[in-house]
Structure 1
Amino acid sequence: MAAALSYEDLRKHARHLENEIDLKLVAFSKLGAGIKSPPHASSDAVPLLSGEDTFEAMALEIEELLNKLTQVNERMSEQPVSGAAMLHTLQRHRDILTDLSRDFRKTTSQHEVRREREDLLRGSGDTFRSDGINNRRDMYLKENQHIHSSDRLVNEQIAIAMETREHLTNQRHAFKRLQTRFNDISNRYPVINSLIQRINLKKRRDSIILGLVISGCTILMLLYVFH
């Protein structure tokens, strides 16, 4: 800025910068409030200049204008004071610069907080999706283990059933053999009874014969003695 500028020229330039900064701050605030994270898409679908880049570019431009306004205010403060009106004007320009700087920092800070919150939410969403995938994978693994356990249990039950069937079959064969033996014994009982009866008859007959012999011998001995 040329050193030959008068106080009035500096004041006009300051007012021009203030109006320009004020207009840009309005657009800057709207841009900061409306910026959203770009959707996940292919590189062909992503614009060359995103909302975040536009915000950063405008922030640099406003910051440069604020620096220029600061320099103009300093140049005006170096001018000779001609009265209370000039002091009031200088203070007014300093207050405007303070307000504009505060609005700029406020919008920038709010944007940073908003961006961090969106990043956190997006990261949480990715974490939730990752957790959801891990949970589904764990669920599938548990289900697979459950199926294998059920299959093993079914195989064990089938093996037990086969062993029981074989045991029952062996018992049935044993019962059949016993039944056959019982039938054989039952069929042989008449012959055995007949033999026993014959033996008993023979014993009885032998007893009778022996008794007759003994009786005859006794009679003969008595006759011999008393004769």
Structure 2
Amino acid sequence: MTWEEQARRVRQTQSKLDAKLLAYSHYVSDIVRDPQRAQGETVGAVSLDMSGTSRASLSADGVTGGLNSAAMEAEIQDLLVQYADDQEELSRSINDMADPLLPPSQTQLRTVQRHRELLVESERDFFRSKTSLRQALDRQQLLGHIRDDIDAYRAQHASDVQAYLDERSHLERSHHMIDETLEQAYATQSEFRAQRDTLSSIHGRLTSITGQVPGLQSLISLIARRRRRDNVILALVIGICLVLLLWTGTRRT
């Protein structure tokens, strides 16, 4: 294979590798921005044609993000190996066609050196993107486990939490009823105090009136004595009547 043919082959491999790395980098950027795309959603399955152009289309068979990333990583790894092998072939073709009188041109040497640098850069970019993807997926998996644990804990202790909430609501209602009862008791106490003050005021007025009229107290005492005397007389009459009734009843028998 001539130098031109080998150089063309290396450029084709480089174009394929660049397109794959670009598509893989975009895919990783999407996952890093939105890790939810890595779970349950279909993502773009990247394919390349022989000219090295990339085209992204949604997977028709529902391939998950993990399978797509693994397939792209395998393709990129194969292209890296192929790119390195093509560079070795390119370097070997220079040595095979070397002529002591006509050494390799500076253009050929720079081309080989440039492809070696591009290989190192491609490997570095691939490793960086792959590391970012692994970190994003690990973070999403960890968050998923944490959410699952939280949901499981809530589901397991939902009844206990509801019981605590019901008990708290019951206690709050009881406290409210106690507060209302205390307010009513305080209001009743205030009314009793007002009535006591009113009665005390009336008693004070009566005492004052009695002190101002000297004969009134003696009149009240006289009325009280007569009432007691009338009660005694009435009791005697009732007693005599009962005795007569009993005596009459015994005589008839």
Could you tell me the TM-score, scaled by structure 1's length? 0.54
Deviation at 1:77, TM superposition (A): 2.0
In the other structure, the counterpart of 2:18 is: 22
CA distance in 1 between counterparts of 2:105 and 2:156 reads 76
For 1:121-180, what per-residue CA distance to the aligned partner results, in whole angstroms no more than 9, with x for missing partners?
111111121222234233246578x69xx9xxxxxxxxxxxxxxxxxxxxxxxxxxxxxx
Spell out, residue by residue over 1:29-66, the C-alpha distance to the aligned partner (whole angstroms, 9 max, x if none).
112222413349xxxxx953122212211111111111
- d(CA) in 2 for partners of 1:83 and 1:57? 40
**2:127 paired with 1:105:** yes
Q: 1:48 aligned to 58, 62, 69, which one?
A: 62
How far residue 20 of structure 1 moved from its aligned partner, in angstroms, is: 1.3
SS in 1 for 2:63: coil
* Range with bigger deviation, 67-76 or 26-35: 26-35
Selected match of 1:8 from 4, 9, 13: 4
Q: How many angstroms does 1:16 deviate by?
A: 0.9
CA distance in 2, matches of 1:67, 1:109: 19
- Cα distance in structure 2, aligned partners of 1:142 and 1:47: 49
- Percent identity between the two aligned chains: 23
Tell me whether 1:139 sits opposite 2:161 in the alignment.
yes
Which secondary structure state, in structure 2, belongs to the residue aligned with residue 48 of structure 1?
A: coil
Matches of 1:26 and 1:106 in 2, distance apart?
A: 13
Match of 2:53 in 1: none
1:86-135 Cα deviation digits (max 9, x unpaired): 22211100001111111111111111111101111111111121222234
Deviations 1:165-219 (A, max 9, x none): xxxxxxxxxxxxxxxxxxxxxxxxx9xxxxxxxxxxxxxxxxxxxxxxxxxxxxx
Tell me, yes or no, if structure 1 residue 77 matches structure 2 residue 102.
no
Post-superposition offset of 1:6: 2.1
Q: Give the equivalent residue in structure 2 for 1:90.
A: 112
- Which consecutive segments of 4 or more residues in structure 1 shift more than 6 A? none
Q: Which has the larger radius of gyration?
A: 1
The structure with higher relative contact order (CA 8 Å, sep 6+) is 1
Distance in structure 2 (CA, Å) of the matches to 1:51 and 1:125: 21
**Structure 1 unaligned spans of 5+:** 41-45, 151-189, 191-227
- What is the deviation of 1:68? 0.5
Contact in 1 for aligned 2:38/2:64 (Cα 8 Å): no
Give 1:215's aligned residue: none
* Counterpart residue number, 1:65: 79
Once residues 47 and 124 of structure 1 are traced to their aligned partners in structure 2, the CA distance between those partners, rounded to angstroms, is 30
1:49 is paired with a residue whose SS is coil
Count residues in correspondence: 142
Q: 2: CA distance between counterparts of 1:33 and 1:98? A: 22
Q: Which runs of 5+ in 2 are unaligned?
A: 32-36, 42-59, 99-103, 172-238, 240-253
Residue number in structure 1 paired with 2:38: 37
Query: Quick one: which amino acid aligns to residue 159 of structure 2?
Result: R
Asked whether the equivalents of residues 40 and 64 of structure 2 are also in contact (C-alpha less than 8 Å), the reply is: no
